[in-house]
Structure 1
Amino acid sequence: MANLAVSDSEKTFIIHGVEDNLRCDGRGCLDYRHIELELGAAPNCSGSSHVRIANTDVLVGIKAEIAAPDHAAPDRGRIEFFVDLTANADPEFEGTGGDELGQQIAGALAEAYVSKRFLDLSSLCIVKNQQVWVLFVDILILELGGSLYDAVSIAVKAALYDLRIPKLTVSIGEDGKPEIEVSDDPHTQEPLAIANVPCFVTLSKIGSQFVVDVSQEEAECSTVNMCCAIAPNGRMATTMKTGVGSLHPDSLIEALQLAQEIGVALHKALHKQFVKAQELSGRTNGFLL
């Protein structure tokens, strides 16, 4: 990803502002930029969303398909993440240029969703040991403007909220094999509990302060980032550190506590936006929050 050219004087201005809890766009250190959210952005998908945070633009589509379960989890469905970064987001992403970053994002999401405490996929089991629903989550990064992990995780959770899976009836045929029948009512849905689905909160250290939702200019002033996947109840799903800097144990504890507080507030705000976006889209949702 190409670095943004920021002069030393600009960096000094940004750092001094952060120290006074006043950023260039008027926000405080722990304030997010406005989050624009749309549900049902890709009608051909089982669930989809479009999220924009300033110049960061993310489109997510989920396809639900029936497949064989994993041998290690014969009574659970699966969720798989695929990330594509377009050349419009950054010229360096042309061709296979964005593959490495895409794999990093997909891996972080998979790690955040691995525990059934955050997403229980047992309701996606159709016939144990034979057939389950598999959720293929395709993430398209259209534009970059900072706070990428946070924006992607919000878009994924929004698409899961928008998700609609046909209700199935399983019966045993004359040959003793299970027969699957899809409900004739297109509005019937099987519930998927997404109440504990986490979102990423990325805290960047600028000067002596932690800052959330950094712009590209602010990112150039940051030495280390803590990215934490936080559930609505404040439980932490996973964490990772990026950047060349290090954190003192006291700073690390401070960052984790801040991420939990910010994450809980973020989920509350997102829930209100999900409900509003659902009303605007006119789509019903039988899934559990």
Structure 2
Amino acid sequence: MADVLLSDAEKTFIVHGVQDNVREDGRGCEDYRHMELETDMVSNTSGSARLRLANTDILVGVKADMGQPTADRPNQGRLEFFVDCSANATPEFEGRGGEELATEISNTLARAYDTATSLDLNSLVIIPGQQCWVLYVDIVLLECGGNLFDAVSIAVKAALYNTKIPNVTVSEEEGHTELEISDDPYDVKRLNVVSSPVLITLSKIGNCHLVDASQKEESCCLARVIMGITDKGTVTALKKEGSGSLHPDSVLDMMESGKRVGQALNKRLLEVLKDEEKLGSKKHTMGFLK
């Protein structure tokens, strides 16, 4: 993503504000902007969600299809991520311009979810070693306005929460295994996403770091750390980006901040999703998070 062009005076203003814990929009360094979250958006999917964070707009659809488990994990289902950088999001994505970013996001999500506690893949097995549910998570970047990794991960967790998988009856007849998929829309199972991670991006600006960087703040950042954080504060993924260097003490401070923010974000997100089910409303706003 190209940086927003800023003058030296504008960059100095942003850096000094971050040092005083007062950003240009009034937030503190560990505050998120308001988010607008909608679920059950796409009718031909098993689950879906759309998230708007400032100018960033993410659409996620989850499709559950039957397939074969991998040889090294015969008793688990599969989770696969695919990212599409729409050319309408930014001119940079025209042609194959968004492929590198798409691969980076999908690989980071795969690493974050590649733990035994992130998602119960054992519950997706139909016949051990032969049949399982494969969850294809399709992510479309509709508009890019900064903080893509965090926004995508929140939308993914919401879509997985919304996912409904038909129950399957397995029977043996004359030596053949028969599978019967229920067509009752209420005869489904849901995924337990309580421990599923969200990604927290911590951007180093000056001598301080912050979360949910705006496009202007991203232009002042030379290094950032992206973490996968569960509701318990467990780190499931960690990567550093940018040309700038980070002192080990800075990395430790950023990780502690990431754990705090990640736990708060996971808690607030689950509260919003549970309220949605109780109230029957599909659209919610998540306010400032600390």
Where on the TM-score scale, by shorter chain, does this alignment land: which range?
Answer: over 0.9
Cα deviations across residues 152-194 of structure 1 (Å, max 9, x unaligned)? Answer: 00000000000000011111111x1211112242212124222
Contact 1:227 1:240 in 2 (8 A): yes
The residue number in structure 1 matching 2:204 is 205
3-state DSSP of counterpart to 2:189: coil
The residue number in structure 1 matching 2:227 is 228
For 2:176, give the aligned amino acid: K
Deviation at 1:47, TM superposition (A): 0.4
Give matches, 1:214-225, under 5 Å. 214-225=213-224
Deviation at 1:86, TM superposition (A): 1.1
Cα deviations across residues 46-91 of structure 1 (Å, max 9, x unaligned)? Answer: 0000011111110000110001111111111101000011122210
Cα RMSD for the two superposed structures: 1.3
**In 1, Cα distance between the equivalents of 2:48 and 2:277?**
12
The residue number in structure 1 matching 2:38 is 38
TM-score, reference length from structure 1: 0.95
**In 2, Cα distance between the equivalents of 1:226 and 1:23?**
19
More moved, 190-199 vs 79-88? 190-199
Contact 2:84 2:140 in 1 (8 A): yes
Give matches, 1:1-289, under 5 Å. 1-174=1-174, 176-279=175-278, 281=280
Deviation at 1:122, TM superposition (A): 0.7
**In 2, Cα distance between the equivalents of 1:228 and 1:159?**
20
Q: Aligned pair count?
A: 282
**In 2, Cα distance between the equivalents of 1:276 and 1:35?**
16
Relative distance call for 1:51 and 1:268 in structure 2 (3 A) is same
3-state DSSP of counterpart to 2:33: coil
Contact 1:69 1:76 in 2 (8 A): yes
3-state DSSP of counterpart to 2:3: coil
3-state DSSP of counterpart to 1:239: strand
More moved, 273-282 vs 213-222? 273-282
**In 2, Cα distance between the equivalents of 1:83 and 1:53?**
18
3-state DSSP of counterpart to 2:267: helix
Identity %: 50
3-state DSSP of counterpart to 2:228: strand
Structure 1: which 5+ residue stretches go unaligned? Answer: 284-289
The residue number in structure 1 matching 2:286 is none
More moved, 185-194 vs 222-231? 185-194
**In 1, Cα distance between the equivalents of 2:277 and 2:37?**
10
